[in-house]
Structure 1
Amino acid sequence: MKHARILYQEQIHAVLVNDDHSVTLNNGQILAAAAVEWLPPTQGTIFALGLNYADHAAELAFSPPVEPLVFLKSTATLTGHNKVSVRPDNIHYMHYECELLVIIGKRAKNIRREQAMDYVAGYSVCNDYAVRDFLENYYRPNLRVKNRDTLTPVGPWWVDKADVADPANLTLSTWVNGELKQQGNTRDMVFDIPFLIEYLSGFMTLMPGDMIATGTPEGLANVVPGDEVITEIEGVGRLVNHIVSEAQYEATRR
């Protein structure tokens, strides 16, 4: 089952998504996918992983980390399916990152690996853009790299855990203007989902709606205003996003 949050007639609705991507409101009304505004499908703290794929670490000439490199993201970075992401002016390199997003389903504290998957509600697609110009080093992702408004598209929905047979064997793909640029598999994570839940819950409490963005494989490339970026995860979803300049974005908000 697919779950989404949409904006329709100036109201936010939690909805179920049908096979044709139409949505069903609580009153039974069915709306076409194009008739609604897709919002990030859940709300909560966002935990993100750096260098959590061995091939991506090698791409950057780093050894895989011996402990998870975790950082937090502001909710202002989140945006939804078919929305725009703003490339800051006067930068040289901004890249996409297709990531499996784990949705926490219930309060989790001091959870052992063996029980960790019991605390997962489901999965979504995340595109965790990075502005590389401001990176101090890969072991210390800073705020200016990873916390820009609109630079974390998520969605279009989240899928129940039961509907994803093996989250440790899913293909991740990214297309830019129709050209396949990135492809990998979740089996190549350095730290898998049970490990991450055990690790995080060992020193803090995870709450329902919290999200863990589990890292990206190799295959990064620069994106510029006008680009269409599609990130897709097998059995989870296909997330469409468009890059705009700051001037374009501000013009739409006047």
Structure 2
Amino acid sequence: MTTSASPGLPGLTLDYCGEVHTARPGHPLVVGRDAEVAIDDNPFLHRHFLEVSDRGDLWWLSNVGTVLSATVADEFGGLQAWLAPGGQLPLVFPRTVVWFTAGPTTYELDILVTGSPFEPVRQRSELAGSVTVGRVSLTPDQHLLLVGLCEPVLKRQNRGGAVAPASNVVAARLGWTPTKLNRKLDNVCDKLTKQGVRGLHGDASRLATSRKARLVEYALATQLVTTADLALLPDASTRP
């Protein structure tokens, strides 16, 4: 027995590294290490992690894993959500971007919905030496820190997986001491946490690497940093 599509259900495709998968009504499209959309042979990644399925006239994205979370945003960063295990979100925008981190690697995939009635609104603005998204305003150093953390993801060409750099590598890249970098990192995480951003507190149950990965995902999802910001980084060829 096959399930017929709802008359109002739009088409949906999922794009990972140029591999395009078309969702079918009544047949969940699963993303994971060993799934229909096979991401990577990464032991830190769930065999089945994310699932796209239909209910009524909407497509939904569900986190069917047990540990990992995903960051979900529209293409302009106006909407950003943290999809924890067991969480679900309707896919209502023409393009939704999903980031998630497994071990040291951050992955990105696109979900395209044809005929969606919703249109995202660009939120980013530049204000006198600061970067503002919604109510979040960063100092130039805080912004530069995010660019340094996100550099490997911003520079990749295949939009697949990228390994986040270690703190000492980012500090050297920016010409900072490790102490200065950690202080700036704490300040950014505290500022965003006060704005309601989850997953940025490092404690016994959340390693510092997880905190940085979540910060990278959030910065990309809300477009606090873009490829144009790479020009702000020091010229690597002039550093010893």
* TM-score category of the 2 structures, normalised to the smaller one: under 0.3
The normalised TM-score by structure 1 is 0.23
Structure 1 or 2: larger strand share?
1
Determine which structure has greater relative contact order: mean sequence separation of CA pairs < 8 Å that are 6+ residues apart, divided by chain length: 1
Name the larger-Rg structure.
2
Structure 1 or 2: larger helix share?
2
The normalised TM-score by structure 2 is 0.24
